Structure 1
Amino acid sequence: MSEFAISDSLLQERRERVFLVLAGFFLCAMTLLNVIGITRFVQVGPMQLAVGVLAYPLTFLCTDLISELYGRARANFMVTVGLVLNIFILAVMWLGNALPAVDVAVQAPWQTLPLADDVGLPNGTSVRGDVELFALIYATTAGAVLASMVAYILAQYVDVFLFHWIKQKTKGKHLWLRNNGSTIVSQGVDSVTVILVTFGAAIVAGDMAWQAVLGLMLSNYLFKLCSALADTPIIYGLVHVLRPYLGLNKQPSGEI
């Protein structure tokens, strides 16, 4: 069946399904960053990364694909939905921390952790003794979620803006340039912002050296830069497959 024989209703269904899949991966990767965040740091070659960062470059691939296929309005809509989800996650965590906990004796054994020594936290405080698991998770992730939200706002909107600015300047040519150019700049914004906001209190308190901070920034950015360069053939392949599937071969991108 040729693309010209496909009904408008089927094309519309395909377009909405593809958008839902891309938006789903985008929001899932973003939520993973918030949920597991800095609960663990892993060694990837010479880079030291927060485990939540591993899936984050996928968000920029999804943003660029939606920008290319659906246009700037759809991409900004998805980014705005992600921002609302960030706020929702932060609100639920705050509410869970604000509500009174049941007596420690009633809780399951795994809900409290015995800490023999003082443990420094990213917010500049330290804990010791019997610590509730949620309290520890909240102390280590709430600041990271806020940092992620601030970095997210800046980086994702910068990515969408630059993608379409480069596309306009190149008259729709050179997909590789707008894909890499927008992502390289926005990932830099994200890497610097998220580290500064997450560990700001520890830096001010002197509990974290600037050398360590710069090392984390560089590691995060190098990982995201390598991911951005590696996804170039992926975005070319997906655009090549999806444009005819969505009935866009005879239609300029960004009009659905």
Structure 2
Amino acid sequence: MNNHLAITDSQLQERRERVFLVLAGFFLCAMTLLNVIGITRFIQLGPMQLAIGVLAYPLTFLCTDLISELYGKARANFMVSVGLLLNGFILLVMWLGNTLPAVDPIAQPPWQTLQLAQEVGLPSGETVVGSVELFYLLYANTSGAVFASMLAYVFAQYVDVYLFHWIKNKTGGKHLWLRNNGSTIVSQLVDSITVIGVTFGAAVMAGSMTLTVALGLLISNYLFKLVSALVDTPIIYILIAKLRPYLGLTDARSQ
């Protein structure tokens, strides 16, 4: 007797909702991390130069593909739509924080204001020097990235869900590796071009960043996501094999 037949329908439904909640939670957490820490730091990972916020981002595509496979296109698009709303909420809170008046400088804790000895170029192309609020530097470095993330999100995540199911229909539900990698490889290329172009386009135009550096970031960004997509292929096979019987799903149901 299959495991899912030994439990009640309500227990089975609770399992499905819990797994969906976990996958959606990781998806939204990774997306939020990208927006919060964004481009506040760049790291060297082998030949790749990456914004620290990118580290968790490939997890969003793994979660999207898992939900697409287990719960269908409608659930995957619903999660992506919720993520888009959260992007807007983050941008709204950051805008409010930058717009509302700060307290008297004398009353501010010392760590809220930095003294810059030399001019610092920001992603917007603006340069700052002297006394600068820590929040302003964070806002200047992340608000543009959040806006770029929203644009990339609209294109990449919906493209990922669409391509995943398009390939699934074309292959008759076979070759999970093909739809997992095919949808992610294309959608993450769209994501990388949009994010780097919107985030650093103004800096390149203003001359505070060279086109060569921006292209290097684009290549590194996409290379990291491409490698991550290939690495997660066995992971998605293992998770699908474990979750289908646990959730009481058959291949026919998840197609």
Q: How far is 1:26 from its partner?
A: 0.1
Percent sequence identity is: 76
Aligned-partner Cα distance in 2 for 1:209–1:8: 59
Report how many residues are paired: 254
Aligned-partner Cα distance in 1 for 2:43–2:202: 23
Return closer, same or farther for 1:70/1:113 CA change in 2, 3 Å cut-off.
Answer: same
Q: How far is 1:250 from its partner?
A: 6.7
Aligned-partner Cα distance in 1 for 2:35–2:145: 7
Letter in 1 for 2:85: V
Structure 2 partner of 1:42: 43
Q: How far is 1:162 from its partner?
A: 0.2
Instruction: Confirm or deny that 1:124 pairs with 2:125.
Output: yes
Q: How far is 1:204 from its partner?
A: 1.4
Return closer, same or farther for 1:251/1:173 CA change in 2, 3 Å cut-off.
Answer: closer
Aligned-partner Cα distance in 1 for 2:40–2:251: 48
Structure 2 partner of 1:65: 66
TM-score (normalised: structure 2)? 0.98
Structure 2 partner of 1:179: 180
Unaligned runs of 5+ in 2: none
After superposition, give the CA deviation of every residue in 1:186-235 in whole Å (9 maximum; x if it has no partner): 01000111000001111111222111111001000000000000000000
Q: How does 1:125-204 map to 2 (within 5 A)?
A: 125-204=126-205
TM-score (normalised: structure 1)? 0.97
Aligned-partner Cα distance in 2 for 1:157–1:133: 35
Q: How far is 1:144 from its partner?
A: 0.6
Letter in 1 for 2:226: L
Unaligned runs of 5+ in 1: none
Letter in 2 for 1:125: E
SS in 2 for 1:127: strand
Structure 1 partner of 2:239: 238
Aligned-partner Cα distance in 1 for 2:43–2:174: 38
Structure 2 partner of 1:54: 55
Return closer, same or farther for 1:49/1:244 CA change in 2, 3 Å cut-off.
Answer: same
Letter in 2 for 1:13: E
Structure 2 partner of 1:106: 107
SS in 2 for 1:54: helix
Letter in 1 for 2:183: S
Aligned-partner Cα distance in 1 for 2:49–2:121: 19
Aligned-partner Cα distance in 1 for 2:38–2:137: 13
Contact residue 38 and residue 145 of structure 2 kept, 8 A: yes
Query: Which structure is higher in helix share?
Result: 2
SS in 1 for 2:208: coil
Aligned-partner Cα distance in 1 for 2:128–2:180: 44
Spell out structure 1 runs of 4+ moving beyond 6 A.
none
Contact residue 4 and residue 12 of structure 2 kept, 8 A: no
Contact residue 145 and residue 195 of structure 2 kept, 8 A: yes
Q: How far is 1:100 from its partner?
A: 0.4
* RMSD of aligned residue pairs (Cα, Å): 1.0
